Chains A and B, each alone.
Chain A
Amino acid sequence: MVAPAPPLAAKDLWLISDPSQLWRARRFAEGAAKAFGFGEEDCYAFAFAANEAVSNAVEHGAPYDDGTVRLRIEEDGLELTFYVEDRGTFAPQVRTDDVISDRGRGLAFMAAVVDELEVKPVDEGTLVRLTKRRD
């Protein structure tokens, strides 16, 4: 007998694209991570990674016409996934000097604390996906 797929739950947050609003993105991610059952360390890691992704969208991306970037969190029982989408085109920057760019550092950080990191162009923008699994 095959068990039915667990229900998928999703939450959305349209966030004004401004650095002063980033704390809301962290609360959103942290709340979902807690509800998902992550321990304190994983909750922090998830919120940290989400903050980096949204910071990138706010600082280097472009908002939707209403001034927002779009956040979504989905869970399927086994893993928690955070998405942020903006209307900018993402071009990974290669720096020629010896100072790692803020954006480069943010990406490296994100990759270090989640299980999957995906940055992909979508119709008219950029979608970043972060997935963290239960241990």
Chain B
Amino acid sequence: MDMAYLLHEPTGDPPVVRAEGELDLASAPGLRDLLARLIVEGHRHVILDLSGTTFIDSTSIGTLLAAHQRLRRYNGILELVCGHPNVLRTFEFAGLRDEFLIRETTEAPSHAVVHSA
């Protein structure tokens, strides 16, 4: 099966989820389930590391928005780490650049263990 993305198993506390490659309709269900699982497990601060993400579509942004809104109801937060200009640009033309807490970085993160592909 073709795979243009990689979702890493969360590590650390608060949990960091690393997403690499291109986030689209194919990756959205896995991303949604992973974020939902962390919230159900009781985490209120979740970090999604998109520094290795080169593309994000509207469905994936909708998935992030839903998790963000759910966490906020519990006074929690979904923090995003973005490195790629195209990904930041997508949040901008979605009008959501200021809706999320977005930390910009060009550093390559060194944590996380490959879980599945």
Query: A residues near B, CB below 8 A?
Result: 19-24, 26, 41, 44, 47-48, 51-52, 55, 58-59, 100, 102, 105-106, 109, 112-113
Q: Who on chain B is nearest to A110 by CB?
A: B58
Residue in A44, A47, A55 whose CB lies within 8 Å of B25: A55
> In chain B, what residue has the closest Cβ to A55?
B25
Contact A44 B3 (CB under 8 A): no
Task: Let me know if B49 is at the binding interface, CB within 8 A.
Answer: no
- A100 — which chain B residues lie within 8 A by C-beta? 62
Count of chain B residues with a beta carbon within 8 Å of a chain A beta carbon: 19
A14 to B33, CA, bound (A): 31
Known: A48-B57, A55-B57. Contact between A102 and B62, CB under 8 A?
yes
Asked if A106 and B3 make an inter-chain contact with CB atoms under 8 angstroms apart, the answer reads no
Chain B residues closer than 8 Å to A21, beta-carbon distance? 2
Quick check: A48 and B90 within 8 Å, CB to CB? yes
Q: 0/1 per residue, B42-69, Cβ < 8 Å to A?
A: 0000000000000101110110000000
A26 CA to B22 CA, complexed, in Å = 10
Q: How far is the CA of A105 from the CA of B93 in the complex (A)?
A: 12
Q: Is the CB of A55 within 8 A of B3?
A: no
Looking at the complex, which one of B2, B55, B90, B94 makes contact with A20 (CB distance below 8 Å)?
Answer: B2
Residue from B59, B61, B86, B93 within 8 A of A112 (CB atoms):
B93
Q: How far is the CB of A38 from chain B (nearest CB, A)?
A: 14
Q: Are A23 and B57 in contact (CB under 8 A)?
A: no
Q: Which residues of A contact B93 (CB under 8 A)?
A: 109, 112-113
User: Is the Cβ of B57 less than 8 Å from the Cβ of A20?
Assistant: no
Q: How far is the CA of A109 from the CA of B96 in the complex (A)?
A: 12
